[in-house]
Structure 1
Amino acid sequence: MLLKELISLPVYANAKVVAGHEGMTNSVQSVNIMDAPDIIHYLKPQELLLTTGYAMKDHPDALLALVTNMSGVGCAGLAIKTKRFLQEVPGDVLQRANELQFPIIELSLEQSLGDISNYSLSHILEKRTDELHYALSTHKQFSQMIMQGKSTQEVIEALSQLIDSPVMLINQHMELLFHSSSLFEQFYIGLLPKLQAELAALSSPISFTMELADTPYSAAELHPIVTFQLEGFLIALSSDNAKQLSNLTKHAMEQAANVIGLELMKKQAVKERSRRYKNEFFSDFVDGLITSEQELMHRSKNYGLLNHPVYISVVAKRDTSYDLLRASSAMESDGRFISERDRHYNLLKSEFSKFDLRFVLFTKNEYFCFLIALHAGQDVTEEGKESKFVEQLKLIVGNLGATHGIPISMGIGNPVSQLPDIPLSYKEAVEALQTGYDARKKQFVQSYRAKNFNNLLRMIPKEELKEYYEETFKDLLHIEGKERSDLLKTLSTFYDTHCQLAETAKQLFVHRNTVTYRLEKCQRLTGRDLRDPVESLRFRTAFSMEPLVLSD
């Protein structure tokens, strides 16, 4: 209870506050009696000390030190029975108490310190018992509302009526979720900057009171809602015309926060179970583990994927080397990672929902996977320019980076016309995403392109390419200057013209006999039959890998 409430009891009749009036709102949890000089070592926070001042009657400095030390400990106040051993409280002590906003109370001689202590402790215990009963009854009230299927909005309204104050609920991103009917949303928008500054300064989620200025309300009481993570804050406002939020009000907020937290955990468990079921099904689907077409059609029906002319897969991933260095099991065991991953999941889902797209979102390893059903009017690719679909994906990537600070990249598979072919589109999307990362891109949208022969060659180590290249041309590479260039150019053109001597001579602007001479020399230097199909393939392959071998 508050100190000002305690001294309003009859046992404190004729008591007078002589200093530290600003501290009369201090909380009192216990009362102690002292007439020993070393009592400071035994005092506790929120404790009121009763004394006659006998131990300090000849040592005024000791009283000054006691007041200073008690304020440092966090004691509620000091009550002195004057006119007995200590006639009055010294002026320097009163001055120090006012500076520290530490209450000093002069007690009358009518009541003994023992009576005052016993009466005070009895009243404090009675008040705590009342608060406990109040907490239990409010918890029961809110729990019954949830069990009866009442919404969180109705719990907020009930709390607002119970404490006679406006109430609102915000999530961990400081977005307003619910508010009582007595509060307008515009007020929260004006409160948001101060709220952001206060919450940013918190090292851990705790209850606290935030002073307000230039608003119809004087203070806001914030209570965290915590499950396995911080879910948000329950906020109650008090006005200048209303009494400050009492302990009963704070107990009611605490019980409401507990019930709302339990309800959020229940909803989260249901959501996680549904999501896990969906993830397992679609993960098996894209891995080709579902072989029953009947099962595929039945379960896909629940997600609205049947009877569409075009399907396509999109795979998204956060751009971060940190995730690549961590094992999947380590990721899942890290609560902070899971919380952040849930946030990414919800933001991606929200961004995709802004467009005219029917989709299913699931997670597989480090990927966010979208299976999208397109209608006939939606083109994925357009000749000579990016399609509207790709532009939409780029808008999503840009918005996530600019607004939410999340660097996301996406890979797009080729469209398929049959639902059972979606796994192929998924694998292409993963490959497209990896192609973008291999090119050291960030925050990109990469469409799948089938690999040509040069793409395949790039997958071979450069040392092996060089060995194959040198083994193919052998002594021809030992010739220097223009002669080697002419021989290689002639041999390459010879194969480009399908081994036609006349056409080779025409393209090189040389005589046919010159071409014959050069080809015979190439055959002699390489030791290979130029018209043999196997050797022909070898030379063509070597010419294809030449830019890769000669590049730095």
Structure 2
Amino acid sequence: MSARDDEVQALVEQLSAQLDRSVLVDDASLRLLAYSPTLGSEDEVRKTAILTRETPRVIRDLHFAQGIANATQPVRTAPRPDIGLESRVCVPIRCQGALFGYLWLIDADQSLTDADCQAAELTAAEIGTAMYRRDELERPQREHELKLLEALLGPDPAEREEAAHELSAQELLIAGAHVAVLAMRPWRGGGTEHEAELPTSERARLGLALDQFRRALPRRQSLSLVHGDHGVMLVALDGRHGTLDELAARAQDALDQAFADLPVRIALGYSGQHEHLRDANRAHEHARLSLRVAGALPEHGTPAGWDDLGAYRLLARAAETAHARELIHPGLPKLFALQSKESLVQTLEAYLDNGCDTKLTAEALFLHRASLYYRLQRIEAITGTSLKSGADRLALHSGLKLARLVGTHPALRRTHGD
């Protein structure tokens, strides 16, 4: 435990003794940081958090739904006896405008006084200051790590080799481990959003969320930075702390919670495992392409792993080319341009997604089979294709997905009112 963690623990125990009740502190993603000995009432949720260092997802969702992420004053959360959750008072931990976490007091009988809440607020302010100081003390080391990580992911092979050597020599990552890269960003929709710069506030929040997530990982397992348009985490995998898929899922969960109060979803893509640290540049490229798929194609799901992208590997690379829109079948823009584009494009995509099974497609679209056949005939006439041709079906299907990746699909334009 670091000196700053010791300070937080001491403040928690001091408040617990003062109020004669249990105190618990979480980070901004509701991961346990410190807790006092049990005093007074206790519920199953507190016991689970102490045993696992995690707050169950259903509980996190309940807490965030009550506005704790935006709170600047104590918030009383509602009890849920059916899942072992007593009423609590949540005090946000903030410093210099940044949210560092939450201080929790179980108050099942609502016996906390105004003076008790004021004492909790003072302690939360002290904890926020301690956590802010910790970040400031770590800043020089973080800046050094950032410089090496930027070089490792950069375009110059000599600089990448030198950065890999320095990271290993200084033992900043687990020696001999395979590496992978995760890429992530808040996503509002649209195939070309990956190119947009993140607002300063979102970059800061993403950086803080990544720092807090890294602290929950074993030492020397990860490094992170935030580019203008996405965040990056380099992870070392030695097989002792879960799989890459599990790590990506945990990162997704933590980032979802960190942005729970904003009207965005977090898209996350990750590479496969690479044997050598010098391969991190290629891993980053794969993670970035996977991020593009996770963002532009919600049906694919997030987090999206490079090893599981299948045909989307090819499409994501195609979307990166200078004239990607020219690769889309020429019949599709004609279909996109029609006033009835929503139903016809949706029909075509559903038909192809369902393996050209008319029964499944009609059920998915709530259509009579005859109506579906009529639409498919219109689509063939407009696009100049035959849906009996495997080559035409391939061209149309890949073109529809590529249109999502490059931002020309009607569903994306409709979402953004373009």
TM-score w.r.t. length of structure 2: 0.50
Q: Rg bigger for which structure? A: 1
Structure ranking higher on relative contact order (CA contacts 8 Å, 6+ apart): 2
